[in-house]
Amino acid sequence: MEKMIAIRKPSDMHLHLRQGAMLKTTVRDAAAWFAQAVVMPNTLPPINTPERLAAYRDEIFSLAPGFKPVMSFKLYPGMSASAVKAMAKAGALLGKLYPAGATTNSEDGVTSWHQIKEALGAMSDLGLVLSIHCEKPDAFVLDREYKYHREFAAICKAYPDLRMVFEHISDRRSIEFVASLPDRVAGTITAHHLLLTLDDVIGANMNPHTFCKPVVKGPKDRDALQQAAFSGSSKFFFGSDSAPHLKTKKESGAAAGGIYSSPYAVPLMAELFEQQGQLKKLENFISVFGPKFYGLKPAKEKLVLIKKESTIPAVTDGIVPLCAGKTVSWSIKA
């Protein structure tokens, strides 16, 4: 008989759903595996008004009525307390801080947390979560995340009740850093940072499809991230940061950062956890700790995986997915 596991349907705590034609693809692929997802606001224009938030949520809902989008808004310099209140009233559970210039569509981001003090105070009062892309854009690329610790610590100290998420941890020093902070601070970990190192980007021929922000780092970093994911600590949970860009854009000579992992992230995680003898830790990491941190319920619905190979396509809807062309040893039970 085939080996099988049933887990609560996963929650993706960091997801880019994009817009237009690509939105249909991303919602379809995410809804197949995930009950809910924290939806990132770096669209064009950004999700930073109640009207845009409502329209985006409605569009996602019309494409997949059973899938729950957890809505965020993008913080901007000078954002007022009343603007934050309006976003909370429209249904946002989190505000996202992008350091200006750190990643895709972040030119209008924040250069110092002092620019958003009023907004952060309101978020703390309202119980909203502050989600941060932790990179200092002017530092050396492999140290950008580490060099952001000081700013993160300053915000954490200034707002003693604010829940904060250190997104897509890539550097082993950030694992120690998040672990050292109070329980109101958590970190997300992606599939690609658990599986890849810089060798997969520039070790052989340069591969734009494994290029993302923050850049995947060394074997010691990947191993420390795996240990955090296997640790059973509720401070570390899954957020895919699945962020598709068309193949043509990736292979253009000026590749945008972002890896499309939604379609196979769950079986890839099952494979990794099983290989490392940690399959029992998968459900908490991918389905339970994330929603609990946000004050949401883990899904009641189950996802059943069977030990049966699937082949990841080379291209899907014009996008090259994570681990394209490889086989993965788990599949969804039809």
Residues assigned a catalytic role: 241
> For Zn ion, which is the closer residue by CB, 103 or 271?
103
Binding-site partner at residue 42 among Zn ion, ligand NCD, none, CB < 5 to 8 Å by type: ligand NCD
Cα gap 292→297, rounded to integer Å: 6
Q: Residue 98 Cβ, how far from Zn ion at the closest point, in Å?
A: 9
Helical H runs in 145-264?
149-158, 172-180, 191-195, 219-230, 247-250
Cβ neighbours for 133, distance < 8 A, ≥ 6 positions apart? 96, 97, 98, 99, 102, 103, 106, 167, 168, 213
> For ligand NCD, which is the closer residue by CB, 121 or 257?
257
Binding-site partner at residue 215 among ligand NCD, Zn ion, none, CB < 5 to 8 Å by type: none
Binding-site partner at residue 313 among ligand NCD, Zn ion, none, CB < 5 to 8 Å by type: none
Number of residues near ligand NCD (by CB under 6 A): 11
User: Contact 95/72 with Cβ under 8 angstroms?
Assistant: yes
Binding-site partner at residue 77 among ligand NCD, Zn ion, none, CB < 5 to 8 Å by type: none
Considering only residues 142-181, where is the footprint of ligand NCD by CB under 6 A? Answer: none
Q: Residue 96 Cβ, how far from Zn ion at the closest point, in Å?
A: 9
Q: Residue 243 Cβ, how far from ligand NCD at the closest point, in Å?
A: 4
- Binding of residue 213 to ligand NCD (CB under 6 A): yes
CA dist 240 → 114, 214, 244, 262, 265 (Å) = 29, 13, 11, 7, 7
Amino acid sitting at position 324: A
Q: Residue 131 Cβ, how far from Zn ion at the closest point, in Å?
A: 9
Nearest Cα to 14, choosing from 139, 189, 244?
189
> For ligand NCD, which is the closer residue by CB, 118 or 151?
151
Considering only residues 268-327, where is the footprint of ligand NCD by CB under 6 A? Answer: none
> For ligand NCD, which is the closer residue by CB, 36 or 42?
42
> For Zn ion, which is the closer residue by CB, 279 or 322?
322
Cβ neighbours for 288, distance < 8 A, ≥ 6 positions apart? 8, 237, 298
Q: Residue 139 Cβ, how far from ligand NCD at the closest point, in Å?
A: 16
Considering only residues 65-124, where is the footprint of ligand NCD by CB under 6 A? Answer: 103-104
DSSP 294: T
Considering only residues 21-50, where is the footprint of ligand NCD by CB under 6 A? Answer: 42
Q: Site mask, ligand NCD, residues 232-271, x = CB under 6 A?
A: ---------x-x-------------xx-------------
Residue 170 DSSP SS3: coil
CA dist 236 → 121, 127, 233 (Å) = 25, 20, 6
User: Contact 17/49 with Cβ under 8 angstroms?
Assistant: no
Q: Which of 135, 241, 274, 317 binds Zn ion (CB under 5 A)?
A: 241
Nearest Cα to 112, choosing from 161, 68, 78, 64?
78
Element (H, E) at 36: strand 36-39
Binding-site partner at residue 103 among ligand NCD, Zn ion, none, CB < 5 to 8 Å by type: ligand NCD
Cα gap 59→34, rounded to integer Å: 17
Cα gap 314→18, rounded to integer Å: 21
> For Zn ion, which is the closer residue by CB, 241 or 271?
241
The residues binding Zn ion (CB under 5 A) are 241
The residues binding ligand NCD (CB under 6 A) are 16, 42, 103-104, 133, 212-213, 241, 243, 257-258
